[in-house]
Amino acid sequence: MTSGFHLAELNVGRLVAPTDDPRVAEFMDNLDRINGMGKRMPGFVWMMEGSGEPGTGNTENSIGDDPQSVANLTVWQDVKSLENFVWNTVHRQFYERRQEWFEVLSEMHFVMWWVPEGHQPTLDEALDRLDHLRAKGASDHAFDWAWLKEAEAWKTHQCTGVAAE
């Protein structure tokens, strides 16, 4: 993308149990660590936050009336910065274990798009982009890793139809 824009990403999932259930405890217990690491990564710009309660991450940003449907929304300076965090840090270990904590979703659960520098997208805006990707496929308006020519790491770690991240 040309200068003046950053990369936004939304990842949604549905936990296999409520956030206080032992089945998702390991995931919940590591949210602050992983999110904190992400915020310190080169190229990190912004993250949708929850209440700030320890161990909740932004899981309070549920989708609709379902507290087990959660969203992660971040903005990065560029593709390489996001790729580095997702695939070259401890985040990858949690991503690879997502089926332990998240239900398998029958539809696309991840979307990216370019935002003007300084813009902090809302969850509704991000969900609209995800709906667009689901309905019309990848385009400049809403896309996945495959749409980005400069994205490389996802090719060896791509989602194989298992649970959402």
For the structural domain made of 5-157, what CATH number should be given? 3.30.70.100
pLDDT in tens, 41-54: 999 999 998 655 66
CA distance 128 to 134: 10
CA distances from 103 to 17, 58, 68, 96, 131 (A): 9, 18, 10, 14, 19
Q: Are 102 and 16 in contact (CB under 8 A)?
A: yes
**Predicted model pTM:** 0.86
pLDDT band at 159 (very low <50, low <70, confident <90, very high): very low
pLDDT in tens, 4-38: 999 999 999 999 999 999 999 999 999 889 999 99
Comparing C-alpha atoms, which of 42, 9, 6, 7 is closest to residue 110? 9
Residue ranges with strand state E in the chain:
5-14, 44-47, 62-63, 66-76, 110-116
pLDDT of residue 4: 95
pLDDT in tens, 97-127: 999 999 998 888 999 999 999 999 999 999 9
